[in-house]
Amino acid sequence: MKTDLASLAHQYDAFLIDQFGVLLDGTGAYDGAPAALSALAQLGKKIVLLSNSGKRAAPNVARLTRLGFDPDSYLTVMSSGEAAFAELKGRIGKEIPLGASVWVHARDHDMSPVDGLELTPVEDAAAADLLIIAGSRADEFELAQYRSWLAPAAQRGVPAFCTNPDMKMLTPLGTRFGAGAIATLYEELGGKVEWVGKPFPLIYRLAHDELGQAERVLCIGDSPEHDIAGGQAAGFATALVRTGLHADLSDTALLEHCRSTAVPDFIIPRFSLEGP
């Protein structure tokens, strides 16, 4: 059903809102998005920003604040990086040996996925006991480069966490392959990958814990594969924005794509309370 955010705002008590493609494009905030987020909060809505960012919550909050979003307008950023950190912390000293060597691949050389954990970072995937694929640097490297980096680890059976399941990402240079594509390559090479983030259950359980007792929850995102499929599997209503990854598709092409992945409850033009 086509509608807009203003019409949905009064139907739901809480919102799980994607970052990239909804609030942010590849360069900054969408026009009106910071104001719309603040306006939802002023209506008393509980809001968790639910993101497939491999970075932890704090770096995401810092970036959003820098781009004009009021940190008081949402409860937290539940990123896949934050969810994975909690999961890893509980496994170290059990399935994961204390001090195990870990290769972290992230944008901006971000090491927050392992900061504070009893792991030993290494620069070469071939020398690692654990891989964390937290981001893609597709604006610097081709996928073939990742194949050469990862093949030796896959041959040794090194386990990997993909903490950003997005297959594509928005960058200032346009759409590029995401961390999910790198993790898929690792599986094709014979490696084992544990996926953390949308559409997988862990991140939704943690996000719902942050919301508390909210019953009427709406997930808003730009990806049928991640935001819509994940929200529906978690038992929430879903809304797909016409910005982001599929902004260039016609209405017919978008609906056909949704039919092959996940059909949202609602389609809205953009994240704004000011109409189309």
Please write the tens of the pLDDT for every residue from 104-146.
999 888 898 999 999 999 999 999 999 999 999 998 999 999 9
Measured between alpha carbons, how far is 217 from 102 in angstroms, rounded to an integer? 37
The CATH architecture to which 5-52+199-268 belongs is 3-Layer(aba) Sandwich (3.40)
> How confident is the model over 79-88, as pLDDT tens digits?
999 999 999 9
Contact of 266 with 8, CB cutoff 8 Å: yes
Q: Please state, in angstroms and rounded to a whole number, the distance separating the CA atoms of residues 53 and 203.
A: 11
State the residue for tokens 């059909």.
Answer: 263
Which residues make up the CATH 3.40.50.1000 domain(s) of the chain? 5-52+199-268, 91-195
What is the model's pLDDT at position 275?
58
What is the rounded distance in angstroms from the CA atom of residue 165 to the CA atom of residue 183? Answer: 8
The pLDDT of residue 273: 87
Contact 138, 178 (CB under 8 A): yes
| Low pLDDT (below 70) residues in the chain | 275-276
So what's the pLDDT on residue 34? 98
Per-residue tokens: 197: 């983030």
- Supply the pTM of this predicted model: 0.87
Q: What is the pLDDT of residue 175?
A: 83
Q: Provide CATH code, domain 91-195.
A: 3.40.50.1000
